[in-house]
Structure 1
Amino acid sequence: MIKKSKFIKTIALVLVLVLSIGVLSACGSNSGDTIKVGSKEFTEQLLLGKITVLALKDAGFKVDDKTGVAGSDKVRLALENGDFDLYWEYTGTAWLSQLQNDEPITDSQEAYEKVRDTDEENGFIWLQYATLNNTYTLMMRKEHAEELGIKTISDLSKYISENPGELTTAIDHEFSVRPDGYPGVQAHYGFNQSDDEIKIMDLGIMYKTLRENQVDVAMGFATDGRIAAFDLVNLEDDKYFFPVYNAAPVVRKDALEQHPEIKDILEKISPLLDSETMTKLNYEVDINEREPDEVAEEWLKSTGLID
Structure 2
Amino acid sequence: MITTRRGALGLAAAAATPLSARAMTPVSQIAPPDPSETIRLWPGAAPGGERVTVTPQVTERSTDPAFHDRFARYTTDPILTVMRPERPNGASLLLIPGGGYRWAVVDKEGLDCARVFAAAGITCFVLRYRLPGDGWAAGPDVSLQDAQRALRIVRARAVADGLDPARVAVLGASAGGHLAGMLTARTDQTYAAVDAVDAVSMRPDLSILLYPVATMSDPFVHAGSRREMLGETPSAEAIVRYSLERMDWSGRPPVMLVHAMDDASVPVENSLSLLSALKAAGVKSEAHLFEEGGHGFGIRLIAGRPAAVWPELVLRWGGRHGWLQA
Report the TM-score range of the alignment, normalised by the length of the smaller protein: 0.3 to 0.5
Larger Rg: 1
Query: TM-score when scaled to structure 2?
Result: 0.31
- The structure with higher relative contact order (CA 8 Å, sep 6+) is 1
